[in-house]
């Protein structure tokens, strides 16, 4: 089922230093003080195609949550990739991150969103920009999900970005931690982190998923081996929890999957539609991520 016609434009959301645009989806099931999910499309995608493949608006109808889809424009990047690897677009208070922050603020105000229940996710370049937003604006987000992405500030030039995508080089664990801590003056409760990656990804090597986990482990105080490993829809889920059992980081490495978002389109709880970068593997990352964030309606 296509949702191209359901997304509406977001106007007048701020100074927009990153020259982005955006779409929103506010379902009829949404209620005052509801949650907001920000969804960042991947390279060569649009909000419409990402929404169609992932099924976020379908789940929004079911769970009663608002959606925000920032849109990259060709004048910024010929492939419509978010510029996560550029210095001006990878820090607080500037470029594309500030544009996205302004969008979030506008939607929160316009639709009476609960500011303590704002979440962000993204695929590929959108996943890498999700990492930027979580580091640069940790006070804004309760949780984030990075799909086929890279750690925050792992590259600051296009050449570095290509090298890191292939899994070569990269900052030490100590440096990864310092990069996030240095991105803001935040001293509160950090966002929870969900990490998804295809084991056979030839575009963004799966070693980047491991680096993302390591980047957030010390910050969350959950260093070392996972608290537990469990099976979810036939795939291993690694979980790091605090002493009270609160899940802070989870990681899915999807065996045999290439570059894209894992979906399960069929069945009673199916979401989305198989297509380019939307890979039918029998598990819905969209539904699981929303449940990890506690968005399921009872």
Tell me the CA distances in angstroms from 144 to 1, 167, 206, one per residue in order. 26, 22, 18
Predicted local confidence at residue 296, as pLDDT = 85
Q: What is the pTM for the complete model shown? A: 0.96
pLDDT (tens, 9 = 90+) of the chain, 298 residues, equals 444 448 999 999 999 999 999 999 999 999 999 999 999 999 999 999 999 999 999 999 999 999 999 999 999 999 999 999 999 999 999 999 999 999 999 999 999 999 999 999 999 999 999 999 999 999 999 999 999 999 999 999 999 999 999 999 989 999 999 999 999 999 999 999 999 999 999 999 999 999 999 999 999 999 999 999 999 999 999 999 999 999 999 999 999 999 999 999 999 889 999 999 999 999 999 999 999 999 986 4
57 is catalytic: no
Residue located via tokens 């690897």 = 85
3-state secondary structure of 275: strand
Spatial distance between the Cα atoms of 262 and 259, rounded to a whole number of angstroms:
9
Which CATH number applies to 8-292: 3.40.50.2300, 3.30.565.10, 3.40.50.1820, 1.10.3720.10? 3.40.50.1820
Contact yes or no for 273/53 (Cβ under 8 A): yes
Of the candidates 81, 99, 124, 211, the residue annotated as catalytic is 124
Predicted local confidence at residue 227, as pLDDT = 98
Q: Are strands 278-280 and 261-263 parallel, antiparallel or unpaired?
A: parallel
Predicted local confidence at residue 6, as pLDDT = 87
Question: How many CA atoms lie within 13 Å of 237's alpha carbon, on the beta-carbon side?
Answer: 18
b/e 282-293 (16+ beta carbons within 10 angstroms → b)? ebbbbbbbbebb
Q: What is the 3-state secondary structure (H, E, C) of 206-228?
A: CHHHHHHHHHHHHHHCCCCCCCE
Residue located via tokens 């801590």 = 181
Radius of gyration of the chain (CA): 17
Tell me the CA distances in angstroms from 159 to 79, 86, 147, 172, one per residue in order. 16, 11, 21, 19
């Amino acid at each position: 089922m296509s949702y191209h016609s359901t997304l509406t434009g977001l106007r007048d959301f701020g100074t927009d230093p990153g020259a982005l645009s955006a779409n929103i989806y506010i379902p009829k099931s949404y209620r005052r003080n509801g949650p907001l999910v920000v969804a960042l499309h991947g390279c060569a995608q649009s909000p419409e195609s990402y929404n169609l493949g992932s099924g976020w608006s379908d789940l929004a109808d079911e769970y009663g949550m608002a959606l925000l889809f920032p849109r990259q424009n060709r004048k910024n990047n010929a492939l419509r990739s978010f510029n996560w690897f550029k210095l001006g677009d990878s820090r607080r208070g500037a470029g594309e991150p500030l544009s996205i922050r302004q969008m979030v603020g506008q939607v929160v105000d316009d639709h009476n969103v609960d500011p303590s229940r704002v979440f962000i996710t993204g695929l590929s370049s959108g996943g890498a920009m999700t990492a930027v937003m979580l580091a640069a604006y940790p006070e804004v987000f309760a949780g984030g999900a990075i799909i086929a992405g890279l750690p925050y500030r792992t590259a600051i030039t296009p050449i570095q970005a290509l090298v890191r995508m292939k899994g070569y080089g990269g900052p030490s664990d100590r440096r990864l931690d310092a990069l996030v801590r240095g991105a803001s003056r935040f001293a509160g409760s950090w966002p929870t982190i969900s990490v998804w990656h295809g084991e056979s990804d030839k575009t963004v090597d799966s070693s980047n998923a491991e680096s993302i986990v390591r980047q957030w482990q010390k910050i969350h105080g959950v260093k070392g081996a996972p608290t537990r490993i469990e099976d979810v829809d036939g795939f291993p889920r690694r979980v790091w929890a605090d002493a009270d059992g609160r899940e802070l980081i989870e990681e899915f490495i999807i065996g045999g999957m290439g570059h894209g978002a894992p979906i399960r389109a069929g069945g009673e709880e199916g979401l989305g539609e198989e297509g380019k970068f939307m890979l039918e593997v029998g598990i819905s990352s969209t539904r699981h991520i929303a449940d990890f964030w506690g968005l399921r309606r009872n």
